[in-house]
Structure 1
């Protein structure tokens, strides 16, 4: 494991779908205390201690494999400043809200459940929830196969309360399910010999990303964390009945320089935040991120350099080229024979990588002999707003752009021809966007011929024509009305 200021980082090699992947599991700790809103991040030393003294490292890191969707997990207890027989606790993250009912100790009598004893503190753990020996959904719980005198569970879902001694309900809690419980083990029953917690693991085809989720279903989001979702917690702190906070508002970006055949390529990696841990009594939250990169060698020697940058989520998202010079400079200054952990660097703000002067793509490539991914080839209608008025057409158009970029990358086109074409048009006084036909003719004149590329450019051009025709048709009644009004004025 590697530590840096506010981060903990653990690596894992995964083989899946005939691809070898390196997964970087990164943890970022932050304070839930609104008083420290301008200095919310927790040091890596504090973070290690919090993990060790609460859920433990094994539970925290779990399998270290990207999940199918984001989820939140809570490690804590119900608190009351005065003795109570029962109270509710609630945790809300973004649009997901969950409430549990917490009771003092009760037992079954001939007349039903006894009056709950008073309490000030009750751990929210599964051994206080419904279950018991032989109950596969919670073998550690209480209340299963109850008789007179049997204890009732202290923790119940507000949506599913026990009514009679024969009732069987879903175990209620906020913590992750252990790997050997049915909620999780059912997905891996066909692969008993695979230890998914190993640092290197092969994932069978029938194992899906959502099988690595560990939280109850009602604590799972439809997608992944954006990074600034609100957090509300009720009755889970010894002093504060209510905590109102939010995620730390940080955007992480990860850049990698990787060897590919006879060249080195600089790319930005995919990153998703899929797990939030909340420890209310310590006023602490921990976000876990998964960063993935395809690898070409078992010893990871093809990964030359990794840089993890922390930005403010409401700041400008700058393109890779903006930072390229400084990223490559850091790479050139790093020890060439270092192990992978030593090749990973962190920056705390976008300004750390901001260039003193604008970067030029061609200068970067020629100076450092490192290839940048081609920018997307864009053809847009003269009226930029038109494309945004129809989300479906806009989405289709973006897909065409991506396909064109793929073909250009395949043909090793570096867009120099298009740049000179653009300058030529500007010098000729043509400021409108070029048509597909113009671009194709210019590429042909430059000695570049590709039927695949021409087909895609024509598709893009045809789509734009259809968009503009639709918009012209929509605006026709309005234009006719304006013309009529002008004639009346005259």
Structure 2
């Protein structure tokens, strides 16, 4: 099979299998863009390569996920990942402030605080937050963690997790308290279970992701290994915080707005509006257009870059002669030359079209 890429984005093509043991092909493309405030994303000249494995902020298993690898075969919805540092408004130290994210029709708000601690004085009490200028938005600063042998599965690397209000703990050393929380449910009670808050991706072993992985037991090992369990769901590959999984797939041209997540109080930019698609050419002359969807948006605020990942699937087991990735509507993004190589319309239908004799 000949593979042609008529886009400026580095591609990867591989095969996968679903929970019903059906094989399918996958094409992934990763685009690198520069953030220019109040402007559309700017396509950079030197595109960065795809990421072959998950990248963590520190040691895997002991730190939060920073950059997700690009090897997911399929995502039902679009993930939004944001790596950022909360900046106090007007550059003045504050004990607490709000940050916000808006992407198209969804938005998320966080309350961040300066360092604060739990201490024992006739029960557990909280110190007042210390004024500060910045708070990294990482799950290490959110609610979660490990209490003795009990692990908080939604965020094992966080702070403040205690299984119950009656849990015994005696120490004269103050314990760090979470600095990132929901403004609708601020963390004030020792022993209360809180929802972990953040903007980055969740590791594969964390809840709620791992719940979609299916049942790996002796029956699976005996009857299905190495295939997926029958109850596997592709929602497993949606790695964003549940509040930042888009309701469906973004269409393009959506505006992204970040507040108090950079040195500039408001950072605003627009997603590209072009479309990618696959054109499959079989040995018998039949051709078929198939969609390639934008399913991952990674905003790297410290670098002022955005990484977009598109993914498309196609049938395998048939005699495919040529697989092409094509682009439409890239003129305003500086890639109009890609439009010139398109000889067939695509994304008009998902039905096969016989080549004209």
TM-score (norm 2): 0.77
> Which position in structure 2 is the counterpart of 1:69?
77
Where does 1:11-410 land on structure 2 (aligned, <5 Å)? Answer: 11-16=13-18, 17-34=20-37, 37=40, 40-46=42-48, 59-61=67-69, 63-80=71-88, 81-109=91-119, 110=121, 112-133=125-146, 134-145=151-162, 149-188=174-213, 190-191=215-216, 202-238=227-263, 240-259=264-283, 263-296=284-317, 302-312=319-329, 348-353=337-342
CA offset at residue 79 of structure 1?
Answer: 1.8
Residue by residue over 1:11-70, the C-alpha shift from the partner in whole angstroms, topping out at 9 and shown as x without a partner, is 231122353211111112222214764x71124444669x99987999422541211212
Distance 1:46 1:35 in 2: 24
Larger helix percent: 1
Q: Assess if the C-alpha contact under 8 Å between 1:308 and 1:347 holds in 2.
A: no
Distance 2:135 2:230 in 1: 42
TM-score (norm 1): 0.57
Structure 1 runs not aligned, ≥5 long: 195-200, 316-345, 360-371, 377-401, 417-490
Distance 1:6 1:294 in 2: 24
Report the number of matched residues: 320
Q: Which structure carries more relative contact order (alpha carbon 8 Å, separation 6+)?
A: 2
CA offset at residue 231 of structure 1?
Answer: 0.5
Q: Assess if the C-alpha contact under 8 Å between 2:86 and 2:112 holds in 1.
A: yes
CA offset at residue 189 of structure 1?
Answer: 5.0
Distance 2:49 2:202 in 1: 22
Q: Assess if the C-alpha contact under 8 Å between 1:8 and 1:44 holds in 2.
A: no
Distance 1:8 1:192 in 2: 38
> Which position in structure 1 is the counterpart of 2:223?
none
Q: Assess if the C-alpha contact under 8 Å between 2:153 and 2:206 holds in 1.
A: yes
Residue by residue over 1:375-396, the C-alpha shift from the partner in whole angstroms, topping out at 9 and shown as x without a partner, is 99xxxxxxxxxxxxxxxxxxxx
C-alpha spacing 1:54/1:180, structure 2 compared with 1 (3 Å): closer
C-alpha spacing 1:48/1:84, structure 2 compared with 1 (3 Å): farther
C-alpha spacing 1:119/1:53, structure 2 compared with 1 (3 Å): farther
Distance 1:303 1:283 in 2: 40
Residue by residue over 1:228-264, the C-alpha shift from the partner in whole angstroms, topping out at 9 and shown as x without a partner, is 11100011112x11011110222112212223xxx13
Q: Assess if the C-alpha contact under 8 Å between 1:6 and 1:41 holds in 2.
A: no
> Which position in structure 1 is the counterpart of 2:61?
none
CA offset at residue 174 of structure 1?
Answer: 0.8
Distance 2:28 2:244 in 1: 21
C-alpha spacing 1:268/1:348, structure 2 compared with 1 (3 Å): farther
Please state whether the residue corresponding to 1:257 is helix, strand or coil: strand
Please state whether the residue corresponding to 1:163 is helix, strand or coil: coil
C-alpha spacing 1:54/1:5, structure 2 compared with 1 (3 Å): farther
Please state whether the residue corresponding to 1:119 is helix, strand or coil: coil
> Which position in structure 2 is the counterpart of 1:432?
none
C-alpha spacing 1:192/1:8, structure 2 compared with 1 (3 Å): farther
Structure 2 runs not aligned, ≥5 long: 59-64, 221-225
Distance 1:26 1:243 in 2: 26
> Which position in structure 2 is the counterpart of 1:392?
none
CA offset at residue 275 of structure 1?
Answer: 1.4
Distance 1:354 1:303 in 2: 18
C-alpha spacing 1:138/1:8, structure 2 compared with 1 (3 Å): same
> Which position in structure 2 is the counterpart of 1:423?
none
CA offset at residue 5 of structure 1?
Answer: 7.5
CA RMSD of superposed structures (Å) = 3.7
